[in-house]
Homo-oligomer: A and B are copies of this chain.
Amino acid sequence: METRREKGLKTLGVLTESDGTGILKRLKEFPALAHGVVDFAYGEVLSRDVIDPKMRQLLTVTSLASQGMLTPQLKVHFKGALNVGAKPEDLIEVIYITMIYAGMPKALNAAAVLQEVFREKNINIEVDLDAAED
């Protein structure tokens, strides 16, 4: 039977296209935080299967974007969302939800983070700017 640690690393690894252990090294001075993130959050809560990983990532980026200053996490989780099957269009909708419910500045800042992710992933969004016009 998998331990929480194993489940956590697997779940994290899928999101980050790695073996998931990077965060353990990065948080070596903070073992209870590493434990919280890997074993509790990813190993116990987020590895359950009530909602699928794609939906879970869309909820995650919405939470991060709405709080408005969590740039490093937002970048990781936008990428993670694409890595588990979210389409760029889904992530763009998250920006719009943020605009309505958390205000335009937070939406603009999240959009800038998403554009960076699109660039790193070579994702090109074809848009018809006139479609949005009056």
A134: B residues at CB distance < 8 A: 3-5, 39, 43
For chain A residues 51-92, which have a beta carbon within 8 Å of chain B?
51, 55-56, 58-60, 62-70, 72-73, 88-90, 92
> Is A97 a contact partner of B127 (Cβ separation < 8 A)?
no
- A12: Cβ under 8 A from any B Cβ: no
Q: Nearest Cβ in chain B — how far from A60, in angstroms?
A: 6
**Chain A contact residues, CB within 8 Å of chain B:** 3-5, 24, 27-37, 39-41, 43-46, 48, 50-51, 55-56, 58-60, 62-70, 72-73, 88-90, 92-109, 111-112, 114-115, 118, 125, 127-129, 131-134
> Is A70 a contact partner of B105 (Cβ separation < 8 A)?
yes
A94: B residues at CB distance < 8 A: 59
> Is B56 a contact partner of A59 (Cβ separation < 8 A)?
no
User: Once bound together, how far apart are the Cα atoms of A100 and B36, in whole Å?
Assistant: 9
- A34, A43, A96: which has the most chain B beta carbons within 10 Å? A96
A58: B residues at CB distance < 8 A: 55, 58-59
> Is A97 a contact partner of B32 (Cβ separation < 8 A)?
no
Given contacts A5-B134, A50-B93, A55-B55, contact A104 B36 (CB under 8 A): yes
A115: B residues at CB distance < 8 A: 29
